[in-house]
């Protein structure tokens, strides 16, 4: 190959990204070659010339974030991670000597245990900032990153250190992301909040899986984004590095709104028979087409996974050198910052390492017994405020329901996050549950501890984001109130039935449904100590009695997921009453009634199946003894899954319809949720097993 000039070196690097992507997809016999081929110059220009990302330290806190929202184009990102020499980082935040993506991993693209899975996965491959693949998620998550960055700037930047936190967030998206409603929700909020640290790059190639976007997508995206309050700029040719360069400069100079760069491109650029066709979208080009394309690129036709001389060095001299200097300067600054602002520096460190500040729990309340009690949401509001006061980077809000979910931080310094005040800790997501879920993930990825809230019924609107929080193993906090037909008069549209079972079925997702105010305190303790798992806190709208813990067991049992709350005098129950949340006190009433009749019952409070299932067999057996087969479960929700604890012979009192619109008392009667009903069921169980 001829000796490369500067421009040739650019082209050489771009074509290396292209050919690596083509070869990897071909070797895997599956994947998406076309978009990495088209977007290679865009990603190259951004990474090589602008991105403040040190491959030697891919977790440097003030690094720019790059999000590949078109996750199917994963080979684009893997090629960059490899060519720029990004280092692997351990779970304990140590940078390891080895490459995050060695060439071997690219050769094993999409194979078992390869660092290059089909779509980019956070926590699996260092340098991947978020898991992407479900279209729209990446861009929406990027809004959370930018929002968290703006908050961090307001929190940590101080006189003499005005630019300590000033990272930018770039997200590369396509037609699919633009069509998903999620991106609209997220862009609307980002525009409203004037997040000028956010740049989306839209690959306007007019091709999706079914063919040309003309089948289903004809709106003027530029106008839409202008209406959202974005700065919109265009690049007419994805291969034009200078125009791309200018577009990124335009982004840098826009200080009052986010930027959308619309880039016209040709999918599978350079492929003589597949360029501009959906054939280049989801399948390999084929050996012959690869040869023809490489010929077009003036590339050795038979070479596979070729990285020509000079490519690694060129990236080292570009993004490598530039970012190394920036990173070193930043760490020098943080040293000075630590001497001037030790408390803030300590906060930043703890936050970045997902540690809790000393004294975070010092104001946690202890609720006295109270027959009238209070709603779960009410207790949670008190607890959340008690914690947030002592943990500056705990922040969040609601999808326009804070007065109902009780998630507002009410202490003086909390403030409201807005375009005019990035230091506020009360977020207003608007009626955008899905975007809220993704934004929480983005915030969590930047290591802010974020919570969002809404009605449990609307968790369905956010489900793809909830699922991703579990897949990414990030400790986002999802607060869901109005957790059952207990919402009463609002009726079936607002009465969650299958939502609990569905959340419990997400692997690695911790669901907590506390039974009274003191269980709420314990549930929050569990949540705050989670580092790699998201949690859903499920709370009632209606008041629940605060149980007398001198009479019944301590709420500390919450941390084990389930515990014996009330027992037979001799510890040898004949029948088990299993329940979560609002139905626990119902079981306690039934238990007292059964006691007067000489029936030995045990009440097991089961706020979290996931935590309970993680306990050893001995503990599980001590709470639900295998020998006691007379069992009744009670939950104001679908009975789906309860057979795991009741066995097939137990009785499951739950919901088998969508509920109805009526006062709660009437609903409880109609659907069989009364202490007398539970006691009857217990007796029927005993009659069966005796
Ligand atoms: C939520 C979601 N729906 C469907 C898919 C399946 N899918 C993957 S890529 C794609 C088409 C995307 O088109 P575009 O964004 O234009 O990407 P390009 O064809 O340019 O690579 C679809 C429908 C997905 N990944 N996520």
Q: What is the pTM of this model?
A: 0.97
Residue nearest to ligand 1 atom 18, measured at CA: 208
Question: Which residues share a beta bridge with 261?
Answer: 201, 233
113, 150, 129: which is closest to 69 by C-alpha? Answer: 129
Question: Could you give the CA distance from residue 145 to residue 444 in angstroms, rounded to a whole number?
Answer: 8
Task: Give the chain's mean pLDDT.
Answer: 97
Grouping H, G, I as helix, E, B as strand and the rest as coil, residue 422 is: coil
Task: Please report the pLDDT score of residue 333 as a whole number.
Answer: 98
Q: pLDDT-derived band of residue 680, with 50, 70 and 90 as boundaries?
A: very high
75 C-alpha to center of ligand 1: Å?
A: 15
Mutate which of 37, 72, 200, 438 for ligand 1? The one with the most ligand atoms within 8 Å of its CB, which is 72
Q: pLDDT-derived band of residue 282, with 50, 70 and 90 as boundaries?
A: confident
Query: Any catalytic annotation for residue 121?
Result: no
Set out the domains of the chain in order of their start, with CATH numbers. Answer: 6-325 (3.40.50.970), 370-545 (3.40.50.970), 559-689 (3.40.50.920)
The active-site residue out of 129, 289, 378, 433 is 433
207 C-alpha to center of ligand 1: Å?
A: 9
Atom of ligand 1 nearest to the CA of 177: 15
Atom of ligand 1 nearest to the CA of 32: 21
69 C-alpha to center of ligand 1: Å?
A: 10
Express each pLDDT in 512-527 by its tens digit.
Answer: 999 999 999 999 999 9
Task: Please report the pLDDT score of residue 1 as a whole number.
Answer: 38
Q: What is the mean pLDDT of residues 61-71?
A: 98
Residue 612 has pLDDT above 90, yes or no: yes
Express each pLDDT in 287-298 by its tens digit.
Answer: 999 999 999 999
The DSSP letter of residue 286 is -
Task: Please report the pLDDT score of residue 247 as a whole number.
Answer: 98
176 C-alpha to center of ligand 1: Å?
A: 5
Express each pLDDT in 553-573 by its tens digit.
Answer: 999 999 999 999 999 999 999
Q: What is the mean pLDDT of residues 163-191?
A: 98
- Are 168 and 467 spatial neighbours (Cβ–Cβ below 8 Å)? no
Q: What is the mean pLDDT of residues 335-363?
A: 98
Question: Could you give the CA distance from residue 423 to residue 169 in angstroms, rounded to a whole number?
Answer: 19
Express each pLDDT in 435-472 by its tens digit.
Answer: 999 999 999 999 999 999 999 999 999 999 999 999 99
Express each pLDDT in 524-552 by its tens digit.
Answer: 999 999 999 999 999 999 999 999 999 99
Long-range contacts of 530-533 (CB under 8 A, 24+ apart): 530/475, 531/354, 531/475, 532/473, 532/474, 532/475, 533/470, 533/473, 533/475, 533/508, 533/509
Residue nearest to ligand 1 atom 9, measured at CA: 72
Ligand 1 contacts (CB < 6 A) are 32, 35, 70, 72-73, 133-135, 174-177, 180, 203, 205, 207-209, 267, 281
Long-range contacts of 415-423 (CB under 8 A, 24+ apart): 417/147, 417/151, 417/193, 418/193, 419/192, 419/193, 419/194, 421/154, 422/150, 422/151, 422/153, 422/154, 423/151, 423/154, 423/155
Mutate which of 176, 181, 437 for ligand 1? The one with the most ligand atoms within 8 Å of its CB, which is 176
- Are 511 and 503 spatial neighbours (Cβ–Cβ below 8 Å)? yes
């Amino acid at each position: 190959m001829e000796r490369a000039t500067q421009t040739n070196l650019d082209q050489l690097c771009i074509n290396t990204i292209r050919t690596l992507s083509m070869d990897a997809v071909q070797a895997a016999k599956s994947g998406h070659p076309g978009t990495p081929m088209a977007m290679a110059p865009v990603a190259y220009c951004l990474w090589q010339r602008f991105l403040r990302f040190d491959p030697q330290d891919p977790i440097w806190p003030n690094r720019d974030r790059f999000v590949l929202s078109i996750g199917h184009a994963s080979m684009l990102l893997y090629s960059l991670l490899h060519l720029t020499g990004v280092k692997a980082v351990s779970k304990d935040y140590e940078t390891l000597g080895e490459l995050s993506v060695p060439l071997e991993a690219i050769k094993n693209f999409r194979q078992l245990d390869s660092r290059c899975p089909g779509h980019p996965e956070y926590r699996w491959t260092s340098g991947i900032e978020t898991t992407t693949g479900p279209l729209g998620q990446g861009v929406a998550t990027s809004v959370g990153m930018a929002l968290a960055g703006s908050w961090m700037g307001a929190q940590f930047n101080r006189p003499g250190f005005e630019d300590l936190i000033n990272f930018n967030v770039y997200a590369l998206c396509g037609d699919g992301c633009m069509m998903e409603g999620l991106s609209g929700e997220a862009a609307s909020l980002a525009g409203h909040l004037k997040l000028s640290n956010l740049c989306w790059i839209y690959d306007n190639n007019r091709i999706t899986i079914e063919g040309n976007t003309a089948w289903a997508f004809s709106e003027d995206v530029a106008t839409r984004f202008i209406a959202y309050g974005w700065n919109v700029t265009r690049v007419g040719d994805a291969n034009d590095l200078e125009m791309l360069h200018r577009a990124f400069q335009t982004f840098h100079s826009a200080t009052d709104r986010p930027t959308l760069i619309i880039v016209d491109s040709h999918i599978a650029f350079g492929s003589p028979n597949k360029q501009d066709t959906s054939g280049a979208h989801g399948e390999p080009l084929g050996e012959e087409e690869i040869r023809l394309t490489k010929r077009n690129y003036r590339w050795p036709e038979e070479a596979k996974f070729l990285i020509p001389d000079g490519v690694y060095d060129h990236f080292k001299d570009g993004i490598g050198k530039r970012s190394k200097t920036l990173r070193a300067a930043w760490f020098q600054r943080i040293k000075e910052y630590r001497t001037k602002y030790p408390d803030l520096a300590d906060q930043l460190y703890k936050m970045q390492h997902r540690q809790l500040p000393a004294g975070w729990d010092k104001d946690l309340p202890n609720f006295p017994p109270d027959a009238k009690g209070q709603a779960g949401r009410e207790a949670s509001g008190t607890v959340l405020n008690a914690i947030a006061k002592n943990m500056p980077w705990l922040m969040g809000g609601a999808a326009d329901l804070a007065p109902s979910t009780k998630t507002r931080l009410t202490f003086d310094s909390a403030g409201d996050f807005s375009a005019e005040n990035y230091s506020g800790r009360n977020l207003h997501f608007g009626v955008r549950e899905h975007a809220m879920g993704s934004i929480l993930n983005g915030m969590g990825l930047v290591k802010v501890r974020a919570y969002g809230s809404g009605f449990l019924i609307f968790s369905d609107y956010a489900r793809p984001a909830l699922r991703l929080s579990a897949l990414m193993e990030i400790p986002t906090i999802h607060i869901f109130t109005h957790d059952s037909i207990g919402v009463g008069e609002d009726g079936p549209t607002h009465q969650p039935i299958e939502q609990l079972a569905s959340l419990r079925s997400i692997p690695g997702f911790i669901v907590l449904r506390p039974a009274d105010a003191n269980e709420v305190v314990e549930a929050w303790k569990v949540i705050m100590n989670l580092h790699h798992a998201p949690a859903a806190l499920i709370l009632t709208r209606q008041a629940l009695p605060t149980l007398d813990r001198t009479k019944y067991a301590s709420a500390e049992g919450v941390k084990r997921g389930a515990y014996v709350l009330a027992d037979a005098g001799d510890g040898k129950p004949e029948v088990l009453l299993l329940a979560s949340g609002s139905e626990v006190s119902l079981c306690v009433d039934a238990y007292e009634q059964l006691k007067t009749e000489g029936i030995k019952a045990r009440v097991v409070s089961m706020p979290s199946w996931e935590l309970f299932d993680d306990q050893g067999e001995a503990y599980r057996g001590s709470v639900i003894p295998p020998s006691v087969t007379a069992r009744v479960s009670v939950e104001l929700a679908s009975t789906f899954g309860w057979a795991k604890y009741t066995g097939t012979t137990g009785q499951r009192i739950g919901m088998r319809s969508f509920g109805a619109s009526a006062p709660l008392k009437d609903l409880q009667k109609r659907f069989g949720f009364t202490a007398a009903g539970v006691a009857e069921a217990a007796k029927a169980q005993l009659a069966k097993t005796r």
